[in-house]
Amino acid sequence: MGNGCEKVLGLGLASCFFWLASVFAALAGECRDDRVTLRGDWGQAGFTVEVADDAEERAQGLMHREQMAKSAGMLFVYPAPRSVGFWMKNTLIELDMIFADRTGTVRRVHHRAQPHDERPIMGGRDIQYVLEINGGLARQLGISEGSQLQHPSIDAQVAAWPC
């Protein structure tokens, strides 16, 4: 016997709670610096984020963290589109990396980057935003190329999904 969300969506109780919290936040129209919302054919999801928008914060990223809440992440913001690459040196948790262009449109998803791996993970050219979340969540939620990010740092004049 499962809960109603499990029966309708095929999700476990914890995933249902996470999904419902994301939906309610999106419906409330929240657009805050500490929140990223994504949408696509798969639905919507929201994450509480730390923003890394200067060179020092971007260099530190999520290194040395032993855990991260399932509903949390880090949004890397670059001043202009560029080629970006990440590595997992000194990163202790598995991560999904979601690479987006200047409009907030997802151009690439790298699933389950492995802790301590020093091989570069390239996001492609013309990337301005990178969202890191717990490894496995992007696939579980359905986040894929073409999905859209909503965050105040994305210029409303060009945003695929403006605040």
Say what the pLDDT of residue 152 is. 98
* Close Cβ partners of 157 (under 8 Å, ≥ 6 residues apart): none
Note down pLDDT in tens along the chain; length 163 residues: 445 455 444 556 655 555 555 545 444 457 999 999 999 999 999 999 999 999 998 998 888 899 999 999 999 999 999 999 999 999 999 999 999 999 999 999 999 999 999 999 999 999 999 999 999 999 999 999 999 999 999 999 999 999 9
Say what the pLDDT of residue 57 is. 86
